[in-house]
Amino acid sequence: MGGSQLFDRAVFERDVSTIVSIAGEWGLDFLDVEFFLCPSEVISFIAAYSLPTRFSHWSFGKSFRKLVLQQRHGLACIHELVYFSVPCQAFVSEGNSPVENMIVAAHVIAHADFFKNNVNFWSAGKHTALVARTARSFIQECISRFGPERVERVLDAALALRYYPELLEFIACNSPVLEDWQRQVIKYVREESCYFFQLLETKFLNEGWAAYWHTQILRAMDLDVKEAVEFARVNAAALEVSCKSVNPYRLGLDLFTAIRRTLGIQELFAIRRGENDFSFFQKYLSRDIIKELGLTGYSFGKGSAREFQLPPEEIKRHFLRGLGRCGLPDIGVDKERTSGGRLYLRHVYDGRPLHVYSAKKTLEQISFLWGGSIALNTRQGGRDVVFIYDKNGHSSAVL
């Protein structure tokens, strides 16, 4: 790493100017970007809060502590963070070397291009930073008026549902027990959740796009031998294949590379404009590309340690199933049955049962916001079941 080298603003601005010029020549059309140089702990703080102007919550502090410890022990390294706003905001670690900053700048410019042009970001997100600041001010005012314990209790419950904006909206509008200030807190969490859900729905596509273009741009720059070697080392680390999880940078870059070779560069820009992760991989993760990229998957026989390598079609099916609703359970309100104080929810079963402990804890949070009993229809152990949480505690029944 290049933490021992002092940051030279003039060099950085020169490199950014070169990167912007090369990106424009390639056809990238990006939002303006504001770069902020930050110490590594500030980077960790912003990463833990997910937005630079967000309200406070104990869970963010927990994430911050974890990130700081990981960075101190060399288990994590955050070179930059970029947020969709107009202009985009990019927070750059002051520990980066000049070459790392070139990669960061090119990566950020590609993200800014994706945010400006991808259809999923056209309707919302540009004012997320303003919404976050407004929410923080309102929540601080609520803490002063109603006390930190009451506000934190509402935030605990709302954040437990942060990836279910339709559900949050229904509760905020229809709960019979919430006070006006509590409804507003939930609405702010919902507004933020829409932004985060957009990011989740385009994670592979967005990061793959940025990785592809930062690689192309750096290769087009006039690097000396030492810089070229460092670029190769840093880029290889970022694109490293893991046996534990799929690297979105690597998979996205490899897929874009294969598509450009077979379908041409204009197809890349069409993908950037109109797809999300699910549609991207559904359309372009072909049998030939799965084989070409060496993607593998295994199933384990019952009562046996034997591994069965899955065929490409099965690999794609499993991958897409993990991308549907960003891999989160599909749970919504059953409005026709909701009445008499009980809120009915339904889980769209896709072959993956709910984690019972997590489901029960979430029902408790929903019950607090709803002020009454909650019933969740799902499928467990091959049978249709309903989980219920009410004043008597948890129960379940086979349907």
- Distances in Å between the Cα of 381 and the Cα atoms of 67, 303, 387 are 38, 18, 13
Placement of tokens 């770069």 in the chain? 35
Q: State mean pLDDT over 368-383.
A: 94
Q: State mean pLDDT over 248-274.
A: 93
pLDDT of residue 299: 55
Q: State mean pLDDT over 81-93.
A: 91
**Distance (Å, rounded) from C-alpha 261 to C-alpha 253?**
12
pLDDT in tens, 7-43: 788 999 999 999 999 999 999 999 999 999 988 888 8
Tell me the residue length of the chain.
Answer: 399
Which of helix, strand or coil describes residue 160?
helix
pLDDT in tens, 65-80: 888 888 777 777 788 8
Burial group, residue 193, by CB count within 10 angstroms (0-12, 13-18, 19+) = buried
- Distances in Å between the Cα of 395 and the Cα atoms of 333, 360, 385, 389, 392 are 19, 10, 11, 7, 8
pLDDT in tens, 136-161: 999 999 999 999 999 999 999 999 99
Beta bridge partners of 395: 388
**Distance (Å, rounded) from C-alpha 84 to C-alpha 388?**
40
User: Computed over its alpha carbons, how large is the radius of gyration of the chain?
Assistant: 23
pLDDT of residue 260: 94
Domain ranges of the chain: 9-118+202-256, 128-200, 269-325, 329-398
**Distance (Å, rounded) from C-alpha 75 to C-alpha 85?**
30
Q: Residues 125, 126, 128, 129: is their CA dihedral positive or negative?
A: positive
Q: Quick one: what percent of the chain has pLDDT higher than 90?
A: 62
pLDDT in tens, 263-290: 999 999 999 999 999 999 999 988 888 8
**pLDDT class of 301 with cuts at 50, 70, 90:** low
**pLDDT class of 124 with cuts at 50, 70, 90:** low
